[in-house]
Amino acid sequence: MKIFKISSVAVFVLTILGMVSCSNKKFQVSGQISDAEDSVLYFENMSLNGPVTVDSVKLAGDGSFDFSGKAPEAPEFYRLRIAGQIINVAIDSTENIKVKASYPVMSSQYEIEGSDDNAKIKELAQLQIDLQNRINATVNDPRTGVDSVQVAVAGILQAYKEHVKTHYIFKEPMKAYAYFALFQTYQLGNMQALVFNPRANADDVKVFAAVATSWDTFYPKAERGINLHNIALEGMKDVRILRNEQAAGQIDASKVSVAGLIDIALPDNKGMTRRLTDLKGKVVLLDFHAFGAEGSAKRIMDLRDIYNKYHAQGLEIYQVAVDGDEHFWKTQTAALPWISVKDGSGQVLRTYNVQVIPSFFLIDRSNSLYKRAEQIKDLDAEIKSLL
């Protein structure tokens, strides 16, 4: 057998050519969005820090578009967007994705070709829309009470999670669509939350960990895989803390007021312990807020308007902050006129089953829970009815 030897120079040249070839690999996303003439179509990368515009085009009469970019080394996520209408797209290497849709129903009615991942993501998007419709129908059913809504929504979410875990996530955890499924959300009232919540649910932590482990194998050192590991580790810690607190003792009857709510007793921003039950005789807006969250300033201004309008008539705001930095919290609340306390352990959040921030409850003058945020369409009108 004749053996050919390649010189070190040749190896170097071949290596460089290979690197250039890899760096020139592109993906393409093209297609048509009909009934959208003169609309701006954005092509956005869904980075770990939020959406980043990669390109955009003002659509002509035929609605055609063509975007391209450097092929990623691990699955990456993009979206096509016109105003609030979105089509999610996963890119794994050099796909040529074709999309066909019509505005303004492109989010729910579109065709996509070019990869199995994107076909599965479309299925997940449609399942998510159906999930949201069922939650909305439950919340808006006038025959359903506060407690019944919580139970019903929890049941809907659990069934959805079991279906998605079985048919999408655990089936092929290394796939882009499995990663996509982890971060699906639902809307409850005016608040948004993750379907899979690794901060408070041990089973959900396992789901994140399964995908993280699979990505370690198929996409070692990928930024998204590392991020999944961090989420899973933080979730394990949070769940362990929650279990320790529960093991230390459940809420006993003495913590429940005669009026029918669980009391809160926390130090305010001046160090004075403030009890929720001390506000009997007033209408109370029990508010859960994060001052470090996006939109905090506007929400505080809205609460000021409500407070200024109704405080003299008997309204009080008891605001529970969930920010970790105590100095930051005290600085943010120093000039606020209402009661400001901080839930450092998260126990109050769990007691009141608060899964999304911001959130609030209305408490009537008898110190009984009246309604939670998801059941209130017009806060102003509800407060007036209780005063």
**pLDDT value at position 12?**
41
DSSP output for 166-218: IIIITT-TTSHHHHHHHT-EEEETTEEEESS-TTT-HHHHHHHHHHHHHHHHH
Give the confidence band of 5 by pLDDT, cuts at 50, 70, 90: very low
- Summarize pLDDT for 331-367 with one digit per residue, the tens: 999 999 999 999 877 778 877 777 788 889 899 888 8
**pLDDT value at position 251?**
43
Percentage of the chain surpassing pLDDT 90?
A: 50
Structure tokens at 6: 């390649």
- Answer for the pair 82, 65: CB distance below 8 angstroms, yes or no: no
- Answer for the pair 176, 92: CB distance below 8 angstroms, yes or no: yes
Alpha carbon distance 38, 35 (integer Å): 9
- Summarize pLDDT for 170-216 with one digit per residue, the tens: 989 999 999 999 999 988 876 778 899 887 788 898 899 899 888 88
- Summarize pLDDT for 263-282 with one digit per residue, the tens: 888 999 888 999 998 999 99
Give the confidence band of 160 by pLDDT, cuts at 50, 70, 90: very high
Pair type for strands 50-58 and 40-47? antiparallel
Start-to-end CA span in the chain (Å) = 97
Alpha carbon distance 82, 280 (integer Å): 49
